[in-house]
């Protein structure tokens, strides 16, 4: 019988909170978890079968074969330089925006990227089977191992280069992070005017469903789309006391007007 691949996690944030148990349940035994905040490591270990917390970055005697660097982008390079790894270890990061070369100073040639395209929050369950995972590696051995691991938890797995992944991550920021911020601003407008955000939920749900069904370019509606300058001016007047949101409204509306001018 083939011995199961053991893995360790450096980082215990939102992504690790979901990815580590998913791999554990798929038979990729998580052995160790390190976090700068030991409390986060301890909390994640409680969700795993046989993992232990690690107090430092010396993994030289670890039984793991794959080491996931699931930390904020700005410290990936530091971790790569500081971590001590066993021979033939595979070191991967999980960032959408950082290139494979962010791990270039690691003491192993077996580096890679394991990027699940999803937004993760600790208190919101996700199903990895419906999440696309994007793989990059400099070695055939690393690529085969990461592809197998990804296919163990997800049905859609793709190879991708660093520049392509950067474009993918940028598009994801517009589609997810910026969209969520627009919802936050809508929520604030409702609150400031003693209105219920619940009233907007059917509209939000229909907008997302329609955009995914017929494409965002065909789903666009609203005053900017139809060139209704009177309504746009009225909204800007309403927002005159909030310079930041007013400017944001103006920029987005102008971009929509410009893109659909030929159809007006």
**Per-residue confidence (pLDDT) for residue 198, from 0 to 100:** 98
User: 1 pLDDT exceeds 50?
Assistant: no
**Per-residue confidence (pLDDT) for residue 2, from 0 to 100:** 57
Confidence (pTM): 0.92
Report the top-level CATH class of 165-263: mainly alpha
| Architecture in CATH for domain 7-160 | 3-Layer(aba) Sandwich (3.40)
- Angle (CA) 117 29 75, round 5°: 50
Q: Above pLDDT 70, what percent of the chain?
A: 98
- In DSSP terms, which residues pair with 188 in a beta bridge? none
At 224, list the tokens: 């900017």
Domain boundaries, the chain: 7-160, 165-263
User: 3 pLDDT exceeds 90?
Assistant: no
Model pLDDT for residues 127-182, shown as the tens digit of each residue: 999 999 999 998 888 999 999 999 999 999 999 999 999 999 999 999 999 999 99
Model pLDDT for residues 250-264, shown as the tens digit of each residue: 999 999 999 998 765
β-strands 133-137, 111-116 pairing: antiparallel
Q: Quote the mean pLDDT of the chain.
A: 95
User: 20 pLDDT exceeds 60?
Assistant: yes
Question: Where do we find the tokens 């005017």?
Answer: 193
Q: Per-residue confidence at 95, pLDDT binned at 50, 70, 90?
A: very high
**Per-residue confidence (pLDDT) for residue 138, from 0 to 100:** 86
User: 228 pLDDT exceeds 50?
Assistant: yes
All residues at 6 or more sequence positions from 57 whose CB lies less than 8 Å from its CB, including other chains: 10, 34, 79, 82, 83, 84
Read out DSSP for 140-181?
HHHHHHHHHHHHHH-S-EEE--HHHHHHHHHHHIIIIIIHHH
Long-range contacts of 37-41 (CB under 8 A, 24+ apart): 37/12, 40/12, 40/13, 41/12
């Amino acid at each position: 019988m083939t011995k199961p691949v053991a893995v360790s996690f450096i980082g215990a944030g939102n992504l690790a909170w979901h990815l580590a148990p998913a791999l554990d349940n798929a038979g990729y035994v998580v052995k160790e978890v390190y976090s700068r905040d030991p409390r986060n490591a301890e909390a994640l270990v409680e969700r795993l079968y046989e993992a232990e917390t690690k107090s430092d970055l010396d993994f030289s005697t670890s039984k793991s074969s794959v080491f996931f660097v699931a930390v904020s982008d700005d410290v990936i390079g530091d971790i790569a330089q500081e971590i001590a790894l066993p021979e033939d270890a595979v070191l991967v990061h999980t960032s959408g925006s950082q290139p494979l070369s962010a791990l270039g100073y690691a003491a192993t040639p077996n580096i890679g990227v394991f990027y699940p395209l999803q937004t993760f929050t600790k208190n919101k369950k996700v199903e990895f089977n419906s999440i696309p995972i994007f793989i990059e590696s400099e070695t055939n051995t690393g690529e085969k191992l990461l592809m197998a691991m990804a296919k163990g938890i997800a049905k859609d797995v793709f190879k991708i280069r660093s520049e392509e992944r950067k474009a993918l991550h940028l598009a994801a920021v517009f589609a997810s992070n910026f969209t969520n911020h627009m919802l936050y601003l809508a929520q604030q407008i409702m609150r400031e005017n003693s209105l219920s955000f619940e009233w907007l939920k059917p509209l939000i749900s229909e907008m997302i469903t329609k955009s995914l069904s017929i494409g965002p370019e065909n789903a666009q509606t609203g005053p900017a789309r139809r060139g209704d300058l009177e309504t746009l001016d009225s909204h800007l007047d309403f927002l005159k006391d909030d310079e930041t949101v007013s400017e944001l409204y103006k920029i987005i509306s102008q971009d929509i007007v410009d893109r659909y001018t030929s159809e007006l």
